[in-house]
Structure 1
């Protein structure tokens, strides 16, 4: 049992999150967002999933799994959780809101043409190999990308240092790396050279770059973001 009170929200101000489509045309328009179960080892797949070649995906819809929920464009999370009854009937009740995270109905990138790169920078912390492993598995198993996932070695300098060639990351390669400490890609501080990093991104047609690190690392990631926008 409870008491009914008059609490409502008249207006919601949604904080905008810039969409990739604002800067880069969508390549995935019309491509529905499904989870794909594709792999080369049974250990890398969810229990009971079939082991398939990527070419079999479109031949058998049973290999596609729907997400439990697809987020709509206007779905949001209210920031102001504490609400009070209005002091007068004319008072407008407002609230702020954040865009709700989760899978959208259509993909932005076309999985058939995606190359990705993962880099770890700065000091070590627990779980780095877990992050590398899960990103790699998600790209191949969930999104069914047909390109390459590059593991950038030695931090930012791995984008251009000839003594640190990138590693090709695959589900079989990362299968057991979560049992190891540190990062299989190794890491370092410094070495940030925006022009050379952008050169690597352009040369290998990287469409998704995953930067793992702390504050300084992500200041560098933001500069890469700005540099990519300038080349559009």
Structure 2
């Protein structure tokens, strides 16, 4: 049966109004009254091209049009707190105990973040005890029986050479009351949560319970998402490693497709709601003939649909390569009610095998012999160590998180925005998804690289 071509409303410029500015204020446990051990490094520093002073702000808007749309006075323009050490801190390092937990799916760089947190706490602030909670939020709950891990610079020195997380991970909700009970029992007053949007929602609940009990416990997040779908962050850690390895899968698909008559390479990559990995991997190799992402709907049937486009490319070049993000085309493959996983995310129907079958059937119906080589490198990519770029990024994020926590900031995450490291309220980090803009320059670059039409409909 032929699918009706979906309505694609992608024509026309995006709105120019800046809209209502989000609340960028950061919650604190109280004023800093203790001279920071890093104060000597900050004595003569001022805002420059390469540094933002703690009393300055990083503007939310970076275009004249965006700033003009806000109106008002310069001091009223929305801006974010910069990351970095403060001259005065809230916690006395000699009496501080820190905890670290990693949650959700694997991502390159998790061990780099753990090691960076431990080194910064120990070497820079002389915090005497850092513990790790095993297997995500389960590690706080007595019923699971997981012990804690003592973390020292010696014990984390070599963990970045391995993928995954030395602390283990898990998905799913746990009672924030039990988690805060555990924090009190272990005398932890600084908690670092490394995880995605579900984990950050859990961290917000932990911070809420801490607030309701009148406790002085900082909860700071280092956002983790291999899909790069967290808003107000340029790129999440592990993303660069992921798209570099994904580009190798595209190259392999091209080699396979070129080695057979009328060959088609089909690569499925990560990206439940956001197609960043598919876009960047395709641009890195320029081997893809079409890229399919969740943000841009497409049709299979019809002269302007995907199947006809692939056949034309094979006729013109002798082969074709299709790159599809895992969340693309879900409207074509949905078979029943949506089912959620342990993290509350909707379970996706596997678009890869479905497209492979449809491409094979289409070529057979046209009387054309073909071989479709299907590659899904997702789990192999998630489990590898971070590349050097991501390792550096993880180190800088972990340092920023430690500085924020020691200064008494809480219910916030660290990230890089407009190339500056900033503090972001947790509520904003989970307020929406960062997605590829069909009107933006990234998608335009993909269309230029692949030569595919703007609409496969």
Give the structure-1-normalised TM-score: 0.69
Partner Cα distance (1:179, 1:158) in 2: 24
Alpha carbons 2:173, 2:202 under 8 Å: kept? no
The residue number in structure 2 matching 1:212 is: 194
2:89 match: 107
Distance, in Å, in 1 between the alignment partners of 2:38 and 2:207 is 27
C-alpha distance in 2 between matches for 1:79 and 1:138:
28
Q: Which runs of 5+ in 1 are unaligned?
A: 1-12, 36-64
Partner of 1:133: 115
Specify which structure has the higher proportion of helix. 2
Q: Provide the aligned length of Structure 1 versus Structure 2.
A: 181
Within 5 Å, which residues of 2 pair with 1:70-219? 74-83=55-64, 94=74, 95-146=77-128, 148-161=129-142, 163-190=145-172, 192-219=174-201
SS in 2 for 1:104: coil
3-state SS of paired residue (2:100): strand
Judge conservation of contact 2:34–2:91 (CA < 8 Å) in 1.
no
Distance 1:30 1:105 in 2: 9
Which secondary structure does the structure 2 equivalent of 1:206 belong to? coil
Residue 83 of structure 1 deviates from its aligned partner by 3.1
Which blocks of at least 5 consecutive residues in structure 2 are unaligned?
Answer: 1-20, 47-51, 215-457
| CA distance in 2: counterparts of 1:129 and 1:210, whole angstroms | 13
Measure the CA separation in 2 of the matches of 1:79 and 1:213.
24
Change (3 A) 1:66 1:198: same
Q: Cα deviation per residue 1:182-222 (whole Å; 9 max; x = unaligned)?
A: 11111111251212111111112211101111111111000
Cα shift readout 1:161-184 (whole Å, capped 9, x = no counterpart): 463100000111001011112111
The answer on whether the counterparts of 1:115 and 1:207 sit within 8 Å (CA) in structure 2 is: yes
Please list the CA deviations of residues 120-146 of structure 1 after superposition, one character each: whole Å capped at 9, or x if unmatched: 111111111111000011000111113
Larger radius of gyration: 2
Whether the aligned pair in 2 keeps the contact of 1:14 and 1:99 (CA below 8 Å) is no
Whether the 8 Å CA contact 2:100–2:193 is kept in 1: the answer is: yes
Tell me how far apart the structure 2 counterparts of residues 223 and 127 of structure 1 sit (CA, whole Å). Answer: 25
Q: How far off is 1:155 after superposition?
A: 1.0
Residues 117 and 149 in structure 1, CA contact (< 8 A), matched pair in contact too: yes
Q: CA RMSD in A?
A: 2.7
> Of the candidates 34, 38, 47, which is equivalent to residue 30 of structure 1?
34
Work out the CA distance in 2 between the residues paired with 1:218 and 1:149: 21
CA contact (8 A) 2:37 2:124 kept: no
Moved over 4 A (4+): 13-16, 70-73, 91-94
Residue by residue, what CA displacement relative to the aligned partner does 1:77-115 show, whole Å, maximum 9, x if unpaired? 23333337xx9xxx9665333223322111111101110
- For the residue of structure 1 that corresponds to 2:113, the secondary structure is helix
Between the aligned partners of 1:186 and 1:206, the Cα distance in structure 2 is 19
In structure 2, do the counterparts of structure 1 residues 15 and 155 end up closer, same or farther at CA, with 3 Å as the change threshold? closer
The DSSP-based 3-state class of the residue aligned with 1:220 is helix
- Asked whether the equivalents of residues 133 and 147 of structure 2 are also in contact (C-alpha less than 8 Å), the reply is yes
Residues 1:18 and 2:26 aligned together: yes
1:72 deviates by 5.1
Which residue of structure 2 lines up, in the alignment, with residue 66 of structure 1?
Answer: 41
Whole-angstrom distance in 2 between the partners of 1:117 and 1:33: 21
1:92–1:150: structure 2 CA closer, same or farther, 3 Å change rule?
closer
